[in-house]
């Protein structure tokens, strides 16, 4: 899990979100909207869909293009549980929440890194 979570607001433009994601090497950003319940997520895929549809990244706001229907992981989930949730849902990022607080984001890359390291340790 990456505990350094990139967050954006619902009023950031798509270009601002994309720039921040690119600068951090992040495939997603957690969207915190004080006027909404829950936590949303803006992913590379959300950005691609909006740009591919011909929308202006300098005027379109993240709040109109993010995913609010998010599957959240709890801190006690195993890597296998996280991987299964991602495979079932067809997504690559899980927001980790504990009592409504964002603790981090688990990505497919995080899972692969751990499993590859474990495999290397077993074979050496």
Closest by CA position to 72, among listed 60, 59, 85, 54: 85
Q: Name the pTM for this structure.
A: 0.83
What is residue 121's predicted lDDT score, i.e. its pLDDT? Answer: 83
Mean pLDDT of 113-117: 89
d(CA 54, CA 48): 10
Q: pLDDT for 56-108, tens place per residue? A: 999 999 989 987 778 899 999 999 999 999 999 988 999 999 988 899 999 99
Q: What is the pLDDT of residue 122?
A: 85
What pLDDT is stored for residue 35 in this prediction? 78
The per-residue pLDDT for range 17-46, each reduced to its tens digit, is 999 999 999 999 999 877 777 788 999 999
Order across the sheet with 93-98: list the strands: 72-73, 93-98, 101-107
**DSSP per residue over 94-117, as a string?**
EEEEETTEEEEEEEHHHHHHHHHH
> In angstroms, rounded to a whole number, what is the distance separating the alpha carbons of residues 77 and 96?
9
Please give the pLDDT value at position 68: 74
């Amino acid at each position: 899990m990456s505990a350094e979570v990139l967050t954006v607001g619902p009023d950031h433009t798509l270009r601002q979100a994309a720039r921040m994601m690119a600068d951090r090497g992040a495939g997603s950003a957690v969207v915190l909207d004080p006027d909404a319940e829950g936590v949303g997520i803006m992913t590379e895929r959300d950005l691609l869909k909006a740009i591919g549809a011909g929308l202006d990244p300098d005027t379109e706001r993240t709040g109109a293009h993010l995913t609010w229907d998010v599957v959240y992981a709890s801190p006690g989930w195993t890597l296998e549980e996280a991987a299964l949730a991602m495979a079932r849902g067809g997504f690559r990022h899980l927001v980790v929440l504990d009592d409504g607080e964002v603790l981090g984001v688990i990505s497919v890359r995080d899972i692969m890194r751990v499993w590859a390291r474990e495999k290397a340790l077993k074979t050496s």
